[in-house]
């Protein structure tokens, strides 16, 4: 198994563990606090997505630069000074983010949140606590970017899995043992954010190459060296805020907090799929950056196709099971008919859009590794003119399902730009990418999933649904792998090695 697969599966372990904790904990949060209070959790996630644009591309810049410096065998002093310099900027932004949310808490309570049973005082207090939690959690992404740039995915994901477990326990226990109130939830997020960021910072500094030349220095020239990439990434992040998070932001202002809570529940499953996408991207992007720095185009194309096939195989079973069995999955998860009725269509649409979103990520990061922003920025600016008003219209007319449909349409538009990307960087590779890396694995998964949908017995209990969907997911994964050329060759080689001792 190569570095790409090792790093990807390390990322997947952490993502799967975090997703499993989320699947376990979200119904417990709802039962303890109520759907409307859980809507504040959705608001918390929305605020995080809004203010993450103030990252200004620094985290991605650090990841790219450390990968390039490692590939070029740069001096340890340069790497440590780069982290020290960008770290100071990042913490200043984190304090700005926290202070802004705290200052806006009264206005957000009056003009954004549509609470019914929760008091305005409770909502305002919780939003202020969100500011502190987000400020303390904000730099975690910076240290994560540094560790991924050093290609220390295995070590980082061991830490991430441990932190996710501690965060879940630190949140659930006070809600259960002390008071099931939203204030208790956000107090736990503040403590967890501080601990997680401190642990990630310590790990990054320990992993940086040692240097005996004295303390690190703040070097403005390092900022000047990377500012073009960072500023382009920041502009794109602002556009992505409107495109990728615009629907959730719109719904949080137009829907009652309870209905927004149902949308947040459906998004919880879709976010599990997004975690898989990020797992592959986190392993691939540093390799893209290093190979681009070395101008090794042949190896870059090979890594691109390997990772694209890997993305398809990993996403296929989640897409098929969640899209074809949305009602059953929600029933198994919550046991609440109201959740099933209000969230199943949203879940199906979000999952379809998330599949398309996953397929475009590797072409997107191929452009980022080359610092080629023209297609990205032009596409985003054009789509912004259409998607933002469309989100508002669909949210007013159809609520959550309308916004989820816009999410699908957005990613269809992104897919249409991929021939331009392949023509620019990987000439002659478009057909291979479409048929071999995407269509074949998804086709195999859909065949197995359709058969499982047709054969599913009626009136199963929640435990029986869990067992059936688990089996369907594993069979769908096998179907996707069997139709993926790279995985099929590995499976056949493994089968030959296994059967050789029995052949006379």
Return the minimum-mean-pLDDT range out of 156-170, 349-363, 483-497. 483-497
Phi, psi of 319 (to 5 degrees): -60, -50
Does the pLDDT at position 220 exceed 90? no
CA geometry: angle at 261 spanning 49 and 469, to 5°? 95
CB 287 within 8 A of CB 248: no
- The Cα 314–Cα 229 span in angstroms is 30
Fill in the DSSP letter of residue 458.
Answer: S
Buried b / exposed e across 99-119, counting CB within 10 Å, b at 16+?
A: eebbebbeebbeebbbbeebe
CB 10 within 8 A of CB 157: yes
- The Cα 228–Cα 233 span in angstroms is 9
- The Cα 360–Cα 55 span in angstroms is 22
Does the pLDDT at position 493 exceed 80? no
Residues near 129 by beta carbon (within 8 Å), at least 6 away in sequence: 183, 186, 187, 189, 190
- The Cα 479–Cα 93 span in angstroms is 46
pTM score of the predicted model: 0.69
Return the minimum-mean-pLDDT range out of 159-173, 228-242, 276-290. 228-242
> pLDDT category, 503, cuts 50, 70, 90?
very low
pLDDT at residue 198, rounded to an integer:
93
Helices 220-244 + 76-111 axis angle, to 10: 40
From the list 56, 138, 142, the residue with the least C-alpha distance to 97 is 138
CB 282 within 8 A of CB 3: no
pLDDT at residue 15, rounded to an integer:
74
pLDDT at residue 191, rounded to an integer:
92
Buried b / exposed e across 341-358, counting CB within 10 Å, b at 16+?
A: ebbbbbbbbbbbbbbbbb
- The Cα 443–Cα 435 span in angstroms is 10
pLDDT at residue 39, rounded to an integer:
78
Burial class (CB in 10 A: 0-12, 13-18, 19+), 375: middle
CA geometry: angle at 188 spanning 183 and 192, to 5°? 150
> pLDDT category, 441, cuts 50, 70, 90?
very high
Helices 182-207 + 120-137 axis angle, to 10: 10
Does the pLDDT at position 448 exceed 90? yes
Buried b / exposed e across 293-302, counting CB within 10 Å, b at 16+?
A: beeeeeebbe
> pLDDT category, 405, cuts 50, 70, 90?
very high
> pLDDT category, 159, cuts 50, 70, 90?
confident
Does the pLDDT at position 88 exceed 80? yes
pLDDT at residue 370, rounded to an integer:
82
The segment with the largest mean pLDDT, out of 25-34, 263-272, 423-432, is 423-432
Of all residues in the chain, what percent carry a pLDDT higher than 70?
A: 91
pLDDT at residue 446, rounded to an integer:
92
- The Cα 185–Cα 38 span in angstroms is 10
- The Cα 147–Cα 201 span in angstroms is 9
CB 310 within 8 A of CB 39: no
Domain ranges of the chain: 3-497
Does the pLDDT at position 447 exceed 80? yes
- For 258-301, write each residue's pLDDT tens digit: 777 788 778 877 877 887 888 888 778 888 877 887 777 888 88
- The Cα 317–Cα 81 span in angstroms is 44
pLDDT at residue 502, rounded to an integer:
42
pLDDT at residue 504, rounded to an integer:
42
> pLDDT category, 355, cuts 50, 70, 90?
very high
From the list 101, 419, 352, 385, the residue with the least C-alpha distance to 243 is 385
How far, CA to CA in Å, does 178 sit from each of 119, 126, 183?
A: 20, 17, 11
- For 409-425, write each residue's pLDDT tens digit: 999 999 998 888 888 88
pLDDT at residue 412, rounded to an integer:
93
From the list 149, 450, 445, 496, the residue with the least C-alpha distance to 318 is 445
Residue with the bigger pLDDT between 433 and 244: it is: 433
Residue with the bigger pLDDT between 75 and 123: it is: 123
> pLDDT category, 136, cuts 50, 70, 90?
very high
Note the helical H segments in 72-208: 76-111, 120-137, 140-149, 153-177, 182-207
pLDDT at residue 471, rounded to an integer:
92
């Amino acid at each position: 198994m190569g570095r790409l697969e090792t790093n990807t599966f390390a990322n997947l372990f952490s993502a799967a563990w975090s997703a499993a904790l989320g699947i376990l904990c979200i119904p417990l949060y709802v039962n303890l606090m109520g759907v409307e209070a859980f809507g504040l959790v959705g608001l918390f996630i929305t605020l995080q997505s809004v203010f993450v644009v103030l990252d200004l591309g620094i985290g991605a810049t650090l990841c790219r630069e450390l990968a390039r410096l490692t590939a070029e065998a740069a001096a340890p002093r340069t790497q440590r000074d780069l982290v020290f310099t960008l770290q100071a900027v990042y913490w200043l932004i984190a304090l700005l983010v926290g202070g802004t949310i705290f200052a806006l808490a009264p206005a957000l309570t009056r003009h954004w949140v549509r609470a019914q049973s929760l008091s305005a005082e409770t909502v305002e207090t919780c939003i202020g606590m969100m500011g502190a939690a987000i400020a303390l959690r904000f730099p975690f992404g910076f240290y994560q970017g540094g560790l991924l740039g050093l290609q220390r995915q295995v070590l980082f994901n061991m830490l991430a899995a441990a932190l996710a477990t501690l965060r879940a326990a630190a949140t659930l226990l006070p809600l259960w043992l002390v008071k099931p109130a939203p204030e208790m939830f956000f107090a736990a997020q503040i403590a967890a954010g501080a601990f997680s960021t401190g642990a990630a910072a310590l790990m990054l500094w320990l992993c940086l190459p040692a240097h005996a030349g004295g303390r690190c220095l703040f070097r403005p020239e390092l900022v000047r060296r990377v500012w073009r990439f960072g500023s382009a990434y920041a502009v794109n992040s602002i556009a992505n805020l409107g495109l990728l998070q615009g629907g959730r932001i719109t719904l949080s202002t137009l829907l009652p907090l309870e209905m927004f809570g149902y949308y947040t529940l459906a998004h919880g499953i879709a976010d599990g799929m997004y975690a898989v996408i990020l797992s592959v991207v986190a392993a691939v992007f540093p390799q893209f950056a290093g190979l681009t720095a070395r101008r090794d185009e042949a190896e870059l194309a090979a890594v691109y196709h390997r990772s694209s096939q890997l993305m398809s195989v990993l996403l296929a079973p989640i897409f098929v099971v969640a899209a074809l069995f949305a009602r059953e999955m929600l029933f198994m998860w919550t046991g609440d008919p109201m959740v099933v009725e209000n969230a199943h269509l949203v879940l199906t649409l979000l999952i379809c859009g998330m599949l398309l979103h996953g397929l475009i990520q590797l072409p997107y990061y191929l452009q980022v590794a080359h610092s080629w922003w023209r297609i990205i920025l032009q596409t985003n600016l054009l789509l912004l003119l259409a998607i933002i008003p469309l989100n508002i219209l669909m949210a007013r007319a159809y609520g959550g399902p309308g916004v989820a449909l816009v999410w699908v349409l957005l990613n269809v538009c992104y897919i249409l730009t991929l021939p331009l990307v392949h023509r620019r960087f990987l000439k002659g590779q478009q057909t291979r990418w479409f048929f071999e890396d995407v269509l074949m694995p998804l086709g195999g998964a859909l065949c197995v999933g359709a058969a499982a949908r047709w054969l599913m017995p009626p009136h199963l209990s929640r435990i029986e649904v869990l067992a059936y969907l688990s089996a369907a997911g594993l069979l769908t994964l096998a179907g996707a792998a069997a139709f993926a050329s790279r995985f099929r060759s590995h499976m056949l080689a493994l089968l030959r090695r296994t059967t050789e001792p029995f052949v006379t």
